[in-house]
Structure 1
Amino acid sequence: MLRIAWSTLRTRSLSFAGTFVALALGAALMAALGQVLASSISSPGQAPQRYAAAPVVVAPDERLSVKNRLGESSAPLAEPQGIAPELADRLPGAVVDRVFPAQLAGGPPAVGRPWSAARTAPQRLSSGRAPAADDEIVVTGGAQVGQRVQVVTATGAQTYRVVGLASAVPQHSVFFTDPRAAELSPRIDALALWRPTGEVRAALGTATASETAGRTPAVSSKVKVLTGQDRALLDPSREADEQARNNANTIAGIAAAFAAFIAIFVVSSTFAFAVGQRQRAFALLRTIGATAGQVRRMVYGEALMVAIIASALGALIGPLATRPILGRLGALGMAPTWLVPSTSSAPSYVAFGTGVLVAVLGVVVAARRAGRVRPAEALREAALEPKAMTIGRSLAGGGLLATAVISMAVNAATDPVGATNNKTFMPIVMLLIAGVGLLAPVFVRPVTKLLAAPLGRLRGAGGLVVSAGAIASTRRTAATAAPVLVTVALAATLLGATAMTDATKSAMQTTPVRADYLVLPTGTAGLDRQLVERLRSIPAADVTTTTSTNLYTLEGAGTQLIERPAEAVNPATLTTALSVPVTAGTLTQLRDDTIAVSTTWELDLGQRVKLWRADGSQATFKVVALLAAESAADSYVTQAHAFSALPSAAYVKLRPGASVTEVQKALERAAEGHNARAVTRDAWAAGATDRSASASRLGLLAVLGIMLSYTVIALVNTLLMAASDRAPERGALRLLGATTPQILRYVMAEALLVVAVGVVLAAVATALGLLGLSAALVRLGGFADIDVPWQPVTGVIALCFALGVLAAVLPASRIKGVAIPRT
């Protein structure tokens, strides 16, 4: 049977060309994406930047470690503790580094540091001199030597004279004299040394044992000695690099999952269509003694031969795309730009194996159907199109559809937050599309009749011939519409889900705001204390600030330390600026020893809970309010727990009778020179959705690219396979007097009709998916309009129509056996 399978492949190579390309592309994508994953995991971290010139760095161990019943659990602290000054005294010659918020008014994002720490990068002077007085600074950008500029720190804005310019590696900095830096930030963040590591460790061991006893809990006795690559742990880009690594892993994983899903879809539909075309051949094999098992093995053999060659080719060429993919992800900010492409061969082997497995899984149903052909049914099976819907296909399609719908309902009812997560939502979307695709033949006839109804009003028999051809060949129409269904449904559902989720998150942030104005930082440091005092001194306005902090709690049966976000607020003015949804309790009881938490904490009203604050200190809180699911904050505490963190926003509510113009001018004057801006609530709310949407849709670009690639393959392949079957039909039309232009118009109209059927089926799958997501979002925010970004979706639909017409017209006019004679 393998010899027959090989002979079949040679004689029907056109039928398997699309399958070959789909498997080769799938294997290439798997290999390339696998290399991206390997690169993000195996690439060495970026070389140390901030302390590149210092061979040894002593830094505080900024981690909170808590004992639990299984041992110990730890998490990074949100509030830096610094190094005890007595430890620095034990290391003479060490460069004391302090890193704190400091930025030129209107200048680039920057940090403040003592001038002595400039040598650790090193950041050398390009012009001017080092600062010598408390009112002198060296900058890395945003000003020129001799200028007097305002520098905004945590305490406020103050004027300094620029006396020097330095290089901006690793980040923009404002260098002060060492005494002035110590005044602005007493905390010691690191000690840079040019001494043997053993000496440093010995000195620290003595100091830790004797000198640090009895000091205040705000200073950590835990320090770590960093050398070599470990010095990069203190780099300013460390957190962003880790986030970019995670983004690259997520995008590669999602793209690989969709590639496998669509490849299986393409292979299964292709082989199912091919088996339907070859009923006579299978029946003849059965009449000469071939068993059902041999016929099935022949179909499996065809699939394996195609898969082995295609997957091997894809696995070989796929790694060549690794560097361009990494470059593109880096340009989009979705991967570190310094990742080194992996040279591992494991992704290629995995891609080859996955390609073969995809082919086998995709041909299972087709092989079983081929084995069921009986010799006695040869003529009937060859003369009529096989039954489009079998019991197995109906059960499979209905089961997948029911599973997806039930999963959406359960998630919306029990875990609305998790229901909006891509890792939960995307598998459900795949189930929906697969279910609708399997049930497509059931809907093809009524949908085709509905779409073809306007064609019946046209003059001549063209409209009747187009609709009759599509309705008579339900299986062929469903097979051609399938790739359109997958592409349009995935594009519309994913883009629509992203838009809806972004809109709901933005609404959860903006709707509760009662304030008339917001004052927001334009940098990354927050609102300085001087600015906050100036805002509070404005007459006829009530000002409320919120400061982001973190709390730590033992969860998972008391075994896992979890970091939870919290907002530090003034309870007396909170409800003036914000409408906080509360399901139980009251915010009026919020004090230094109480807390308001969301339902995700799984705590009861009045319950006392032991928590750890941002600086690692332990405290016990009483729950006095439970926040509703649509709350913008996860928890609220008083400002006593904010520590050194600066306010992230100031909400300004006008008092009755206040002059809007005067208050607005006063806000603008107060914010001037403090790296902050005052905006109306409406202007801020209008920009909230745009800011979140621009970032969240970048990851979908790779997925949409993969879908469009497979759409080209599947559409062209199916129409090419159908071309030979349509030759007698078109020949009959030619004998009846149809001209070449008429036949081409017929082919074009039928292709447009079939693609339209696929678009309608995609709309069904999209509606189901977005309705399920909407149910979850309603529970979160109380509102969730179904929103589909029509511009990109319309572009995808237009591309499907264009591909459908080209893939139908070109074979009809050029392929041997289907050529249309000239008139």
Structure 2
Amino acid sequence: MLRISVGALRDRWQLFAGAVVAVALGVGLVQSALQVMAATDRPVLPAGLSGAERAHIRDGYAGVATLLGMAVMLAVFLTVFIVSTTFGFTVAQRRRELALLRLVGAQRGSLRLMLLGEALLLGLLGTAAGIPLGVLGTLAQSKLLVSLGMLPPWFRAPWDSGALSAAAVVGVSTALVGVFAAAWRASRISALEALAELPAGQQVMTGWRWFWGLSAVAVTILFVVVGQASRDLVAGLMIALLVMVSGSVALSQLSPIAVPLAGRLPALALRGSLVADLARANVLHAVRRSAATAAPLIVLVGLLLGLWGTFGSLAKAVGEEQRQLVTADLVVSGMVAPAADIAVASPQTSVPITVRHNRSTVYSEAIGIDPAAWQRTHKLLPRKGSLDRLTGATIAIGPGMSAEGYQLNSVLAATIDGRAVELKVVAILPETLDVGDNFFVPRALTPTGRTETLVKFADGADLTAAAHRLGGRTVADWAQSRGETQQRGNTAIFAVLMGLAGVYAAVAVVNAIVMAAVERRREFALARMAGLTKAQVVLVALVESLTVVLIGVLLGCIVAAAALAGVATGTASTYGVVVVAIPWRLLALILGGSLVVVGATAAGTAWVATKSPPISLLGGRE
């Protein structure tokens, strides 16, 4: 069987090229990610750095490790997805070949062994191609993370043999895991059924596909219902991440059903010409081909729009939360002198602080405040203690450190702006979405530093004139900027994941179109013998593929909308308004890029498939 497996890979390399590329990308990414993660786990920091600089670099290393861990999991998932799709499509195209093997005496176990042998060879080829990519990927990832500000400029990732071994194991194992379902399905082929080409032999929705698809639909509906019922923002954010995965799996598994159903909408517009009618018929009736092209787009759009929408909604919620917690009217840079139209001026001075707590050292910022003025311009109340006691050598634990185990009335050793002090904890504020405020101290302890003042005007004051006189920003603009600051950090993380998912989706879609073109040569020849020109045949394939792109993006948007439904309910319950970020620009980018990539691939493969005279293809079956 191994010799047959080698022959199948050699003779049908077009069918397996996309899977080899996917495995190579997966191996390269895993190898480079693990190599960078190993370097961040055992960092070598240069001499002369301050404690705060060392802490900042270590926090960046921890963030990089988390990001790359997510990237590795995503790469493994997408590699298995592409390999399984490839072999599923391959089994459908090789039914006659597999039936002949059954007819001459091959047992079901032998067919399974043959396909597993093909997967093993595919995994070895992908691993061999992926190792050099991993070397280049390590350099590329390091430079990217340095440019995003997550790693210091002097960062280097030395060679790690363990990363190479782990990547090789991932390459072979993902190929074998991805082929299991296709191998089992191939072993169930009946020789007479396939040779006669009965309708049952062309069944697309198998029992296992129904099982996994309907199970994922049930789980998705359950998550959406729970997200709506919880009416909690944090729960909605967590559930949104689960809905993205389960919803994408559900629609990709049920794509042979969902794509023709959704295809009836754009099909209404594809009328009025021969080319449009043929493209519409292909979309609705060539179920396997349409589903194989749409499934990667469903996963791509569902995951990317869902992730970006979740991150963006969180950032917008930070701004809305701050807008509702702050009762001032204006935020002014620097101190503000008393005036008749000013009811309260609450200055806040930020200085560096080092706090030693539970045998660890925290490097952060302390905000010096006047407790009375601060409480008149904020709605946030301590969950323990009182800010009225914030005088002398005292400290209040802010929202950013509220969950770190600080105890009321404990004494902390701290260094404020270079001065060592011992501070008594007199208040602990509740957690908020904005984790920027970590410690509050009396303003007497922060004589120097960066100061901004929250101004609340008296009743009846001319707010426009006062704001023009003082300058500064409205609280709404100030709160929005705090949310945008958090979103910039999310964008750096998301850019890496988006690029990774986009590359895999492109490989999967191009692979599906190229595989379909191999079996469409006879179809194209029949169309040309019926009177269509070569240009018309290419145009039919182009319109058909672009229609499938629109369907895949539409179904992916449904997944993303389901994921963001819980976020919308949670923000409405928490803040009284719906706070949801809809990534229109990202959607336009994905749609435009997909149309270009899929359109160019479909037109190119159709042009190549129609190069031979049609009579030469119709003279006998391939």
| TM-score normalized by the length of structure 2 | 0.84
Q: CA deviation at 1:743?
A: 1.2
Q: Is the 8 A contact 2:399 2:435 kept in 1?
A: no
Residue pairs, 1:140-151, within 5 angstroms: none
Q: Is the 8 A contact 2:400 2:434 kept in 1?
A: no
Note the alpha carbon deviations across 1:294-328, whole angstroms, 9 max, x for none.
11111111111111121122123311232232122
Note the alpha carbon deviations across 1:439-498, whole angstroms, 9 max, x for none.
222212211122211113x13x33332222222221221111112222222322222222
Task: Pick the aligned partner of 1:754 from 529, 548, 561.
Answer: 548
Q: How many residues align?
A: 602
Task: Pick the aligned partner of 1:572 from 372, 375, 382.
Answer: 372
Note the alpha carbon deviations across 1:353-411, whole angstroms, 9 max, x for none.
10111111211111111111123423355666632222322221233344455456657
Q: Identify the residue that residue 264 of structure 2 maps to in structure 1.
A: 449
Match of 2:268, SS state, is helix
Q: Identify the residue that residue 57 of structure 2 maps to in structure 1.
A: 241
Match of 1:699, SS state, is helix
Distance in 2, Cα, partners of 1:517 & 1:767 = 36
Q: Is the 8 A contact 2:357 2:412 kept in 1?
A: no
Note the alpha carbon deviations across 1:28-73, whole angstroms, 9 max, x for none.
122122222223234411232xxxxxxxxxxxxxxxxxxxxxxxxx
- Change over 3 Å in CA distance of 1:768–1:663 after alignment to 2: closer
Q: Identify the residue that residue 164 of structure 2 maps to in structure 1.
A: 348
Note the alpha carbon deviations across 1:763-822, whole angstroms, 9 max, x for none.
111111222333444455444433222223211211111111121111111147866799
Distance in 2, Cα, partners of 1:29 & 1:597 = 39
Distance in 2, Cα, partners of 1:820 & 1:798 = 34
- Change over 3 Å in CA distance of 1:665–1:310 after alignment to 2: closer
Task: Pick the aligned partner of 1:545 from 327, 341, 347.
Answer: 347
Q: Is the 8 A contact 1:501 1:777 kept in 2?
A: no
- Change over 3 Å in CA distance of 1:612–1:464 after alignment to 2: farther
Q: Identify the residue that residue 289 of structure 2 maps to in structure 1.
A: 476
Amino acid at match of 1:489: G
Q: Identify the residue that residue 456 of structure 2 maps to in structure 1.
A: 653
Task: Pick the aligned partner of 2:127 from 311, 318, 322.
Answer: 311
Q: CA deviation at 1:568?
A: 6.6
Q: CA deviation at 1:646?
A: 5.6
Residue 432 (structure 1) aligned with residue 252 (structure 2): no
Distance in 1, Cα, partners of 2:603 & 2:440 = 68
Q: Identify the residue that residue 4 of structure 1 maps to in structure 2.
A: 4
Match of 2:566, SS state, is helix
Amino acid at match of 1:320: L
Q: Identify the residue that residue 785 of structure 1 maps to in structure 2.
A: 579
Q: Is the 8 A contact 2:386 2:426 kept in 1?
A: no
Amino acid at match of 1:361: V
Q: Identify the residue that residue 255 of structure 1 maps to in structure 2.
A: 71
Match of 2:151, SS state, is coil
Q: Identify the residue that residue 733 of structure 1 maps to in structure 2.
A: 527
Distance in 1, Cα, partners of 2:90 & 2:174 = 17
Residue pairs, 1:78-157, within 5 angstroms: none
Residue 518 (structure 1) aligned with residue 331 (structure 2): yes
Distance in 1, Cα, partners of 2:28 & 2:468 = 60
Match of 2:333, SS state, is strand
Residue 798 (structure 1) aligned with residue 565 (structure 2): no
Q: Identify the residue that residue 359 of structure 1 maps to in structure 2.
A: 175
Distance in 1, Cα, partners of 2:222 & 2:530 = 53
Note the alpha carbon deviations across 1:205-246, whole angstroms, 9 max, x for none.
xxxxxxxxxxxxxxxxxxxxxxxxxxx3x2663233223323
Q: Identify the residue that residue 486 of structure 2 maps to in structure 1.
A: 692
Higher relative contact order (Cα pairs below 8 Å, separated by 6+ residues): 2
- Change over 3 Å in CA distance of 1:809–1:274 after alignment to 2: same
Distance in 2, Cα, partners of 1:382 & 1:778 = 55
Distance in 2, Cα, partners of 1:613 & 1:409 = 45
Distance in 2, Cα, partners of 1:778 & 1:665 = 34
Residue 373 (structure 1) aligned with residue 167 (structure 2): no
Match of 1:652, SS state, is strand
Q: Is the 8 A contact 2:96 2:194 kept in 1?
A: yes
Match of 2:125, SS state, is helix
Q: Is the 8 A contact 2:389 2:426 kept in 1?
A: no
Q: CA deviation at 1:752?
A: 0.9
Q: Is the 8 A contact 1:544 1:573 kept in 2?
A: yes
Q: Is the 8 A contact 1:411 1:418 kept in 2?
A: yes
Residue 339 (structure 1) aligned with residue 155 (structure 2): yes
Match of 2:46, SS state, is coil
Distance in 2, Cα, partners of 1:261 & 1:560 = 37
Residue segments in structure 2 that go unaligned for 5+ positions in a row: 415-420, 617-622
- Change over 3 Å in CA distance of 1:632–1:31 after alignment to 2: closer
Residue pairs, 1:582-661, within 5 angstroms: 609-613=408-412, 615=414, 619=424, 639=442, 649-658=452-461
| 332-341 vs 424-433, greater mean Cα deviation | 424-433
Distance in 2, Cα, partners of 1:517 & 1:304 = 66
Task: Pick the aligned partner of 1:500 from 303, 313, 316.
Answer: 313
Distance in 2, Cα, partners of 1:646 & 1:600 = 21
| 537-546 vs 424-433, greater mean Cα deviation | 424-433
Q: Is the 8 A contact 1:497 1:770 kept in 2?
A: yes
Distance in 1, Cα, partners of 2:152 & 2:266 = 49
- Change over 3 Å in CA distance of 1:774–1:562 after alignment to 2: farther
Q: Identify the residue that residue 417 of structure 2 maps to in structure 1.
A: none
Q: Is the 8 A contact 1:30 1:351 kept in 2?
A: yes
Match of 1:454, SS state, is coil
Note the alpha carbon deviations across 1:692-723, whole angstroms, 9 max, x for none.
33332122222222222222321221111111
- Change over 3 Å in CA distance of 1:567–1:661 after alignment to 2: same
Distance in 2, Cα, partners of 1:20 & 1:643 = 61
- Change over 3 Å in CA distance of 1:490–1:356 after alignment to 2: same
Q: Identify the residue that residue 29 of structure 1 maps to in structure 2.
A: 29
Q: Identify the residue that residue 85 of structure 2 maps to in structure 1.
A: 269
Larger radius of gyration: 1
RMSD: 3.9
Match of 1:697, SS state, is helix
Distance in 2, Cα, partners of 1:791 & 1:821 = 48
Match of 1:653, SS state, is strand
Match of 2:456, SS state, is strand
- Change over 3 Å in CA distance of 1:450–1:29 after alignment to 2: same
Q: Is the 8 A contact 2:241 2:306 kept in 1?
A: no
Q: Identify the residue that residue 418 of structure 2 maps to in structure 1.
A: none
Note the alpha carbon deviations across 1:187-217, whole angstroms, 9 max, x for none.
xxxxxxxxxxxxxxxxxxxxxxxxxxxxxxx
Distance in 2, Cα, partners of 1:634 & 1:781 = 20
Q: CA deviation at 1:627?
A: 5.7
Q: Is the 8 A contact 1:510 1:685 kept in 2?
A: yes
Q: Identify the residue that residue 487 of structure 1 maps to in structure 2.
A: 300
Distance in 1, Cα, partners of 2:500 & 2:258 = 27
Amino acid at match of 2:14: L
Distance in 2, Cα, partners of 1:540 & 1:415 = 40
Distance in 1, Cα, partners of 2:184 & 2:224 = 32
Note the alpha carbon deviations across 1:496-515, whole angstroms, 9 max, x for none.
22221111111112233332
Q: Is the 8 A contact 1:37 1:252 kept in 2?
A: yes
Distance in 1, Cα, partners of 2:431 & 2:121 = 58
Residue segments in structure 1 that go unaligned for 5+ positions in a row: 49-231, 522-530, 669-677
Distance in 2, Cα, partners of 1:590 & 1:280 = 84
Higher helix share: 2
Q: Identify the residue that residue 719 of structure 1 maps to in structure 2.
A: 513
